[in-house]
Chains A and B, each alone.
Chain A
Amino acid sequence: MNDEQWVVRALKSPDDFFCLVVKYEPILKKYIRRISGVSEEAAQDIAQDVFIKAYRNLNDFDTDLKFSSWIYRITHNHTLNEVAKNRKFVFGPNEDFLNRFAKDIAQESFSDSAVALDILNQKALGDCLESLPENQKSVILLYFWEDKSYEEISDILHLPIGTVGTYLNRAKVKIKACLEKVL
C-alpha cells in the first residue's frame, strides 16, 4: 500500500496514520535538525507538532501529489517558524551528501581534484552554505541531501520548477565563489 492510500485510510482512523508516522518520523527529524540546527529533543518536539498538524489537515492533502512532498512542506514551514530566532545552520556529518555535493561542485567549478578534496572540508562548506539566502540553502539541502527531484522541491517549497533550477544554479555559483575565497 502506498502513502496516498494510507492517507485515505488515516482519515477514518488515527491508527492508520501510525504507518506514515513510523515511516517519516526519523526522516523528518533529521531534516528538521539539518535546516534548523536544533537539538535531538527539540527536533522530536517539532516533529510531533508537524504530525499533529498534518493529521489535522489531512483533508487538505491532494492525493494527486506525493505525500512525502506534502509532509516535507509542513515540516519545512513549521520548523522555520519555530526556530525563526537564533537559527543556525548545522552542517552535519553526512558522507553521502558531502560526496555528492562536493563532486558536483568540483566537477563544475574546479579542475584540480585536490581542490575537490578540500571542498570536503566541512567547516568551509558549511560556512559557505550558511551564507546563502534561505531559499537557495533550502533548495541545495533538498536536492543534494534529501535527494529530491526538481518537481518535489517545487511542491515542498511552493516554487515554480524553473525557479528551483535557478536557485540551485545561483547557489552553486555563490558557493564556488565563497570556496575560492575561503580555501
Chain B
Amino acid sequence: MSSDFETSKKILENIKAQNIRPLPLWVFKVRRLFLVLIFILSTAFGALSISILLVNLNLFSQYSQIHIGRGFGVFLIPAIWFSLSFVFFIIAYFHFRKSPRGYRASSIKLIAGLTVLSITLGSSLFLSGYSQTIHRFIRHKIPVYGNLHQQMNDLSCRPIEGMLCGQIENDVATFFSSKVSILTDENGQKWLVDINGAEVRGLPRIEIEKRVRIWGNITDQNVFKALEVRPYPLD
C-alpha cells in the first residue's frame, strides 16, 4: 500500500477518533444571513447618511451665499456625514465581497453599483422629506450634535450681519399683505419686519408659527428691512 493511501487512512482514523462531525447547516446559514444583514444595514445607513449630507449641503449652500469664510463649523457637519457615508460604504463593500459568491463581482462594477444604489436611496430619502425628519430627531436626541448644529445656526442667524431667523407671529396672510410684520427671533426678541418689496421664495407652504430666514438689514432698533424671505430649512 502506498504511503499516500496510508496517510489518507490516518486522516480518516483521526476524524473518527476525535469524533469530528460536520458543523450543522444552520451555523453556516446564520453566518451567511448575518453577512447579508450587515450588508443591507450598512447600505441603508450609508444611504441615510447621504440623505442627511444632502440636507446639510442644502443648508450650507444657502448659508454660504452670505456667510462664506465664517469658520469650520459650517463645513464640519457635512464632513461628518460624508465620512459616515464613506464608512458605511466600505462596510457594505467588504460584506458583499465576503458573501458566498461576492468575490466574483468586478471591483469597478461593485463600487459603481453600490454608489448608484446609495445615492439613489439617499436622494429618495432627501426628496421625500424623511431625512429632514430624521435629521431633526438626531439634533434633538444627540446633544453634542445639536450643539454643533446650533453653532452652525448661530453663524448664520445674525441680524446685524444681514440674516434674521425666527418664527412668524401674525398669520401668514397678514405677514405678506402688511408692510410690517412681527417675527420672534432665536433669542425670543420680537422684530418688526418690513416685507415691502422683498423677494419671497418657497413660502406658500409656510404656516403661522413656522420659521423663516430673512436676508436684509437693520434699519432701526428691532426693525429689519427684508430683501429676501425663505423658509428655514431646519424645520
Given A47-B7, A52-B20, A159-B103, CB of A15 within 8 Å of CB of B28: no
Inter-chain contact total with CB atoms closer than 8 Å: 73
**Given contacts A22-B8, A160-B104, A160-B106, A14 and B16 within 8 Å (CB-CB):** yes
A48 contacts which chain B residues (CB < 8 A)?
7, 10-11, 14
Size bracket, chain B contacts: 20 to 34
**Footprint of A on B, CB under 8 Å?**
4-5, 7-12, 14-16, 18, 20-25, 27-28, 97, 100, 103-107
Are A25 and B4 closer than 8 Å at their CB atoms?
Answer: yes
B22 cross-chain contacts in A, Cβ below 8 A: 10-11, 55-59
Contact status B5-A162, CB under 8 Å: no
CA distance A38 to B9 in the complex (A): 22
Q: Which residues of B contact A112 (CB under 8 A)?
A: none
Closest 3 interchain pairs by CB? A158-B103, A58-B22, A26-B4
Assembly CA distance A15 to B16 (angstroms)? 9
List, in ascending order, chain B residues with CB within 8 A of A52's CB.
Answer: 11, 14-15, 18, 20
B5, A22: Cβ atoms under 8 Å? yes
Q: Is the CB of B12 within 8 A of A15?
A: yes
Distance, CA A17 to CA B103, complexed state (A): 28
A37 CA to B58 CA in the complex, in Å?
A: 60
Chain B contacts for A51, CB-based, 8 A: 11, 15
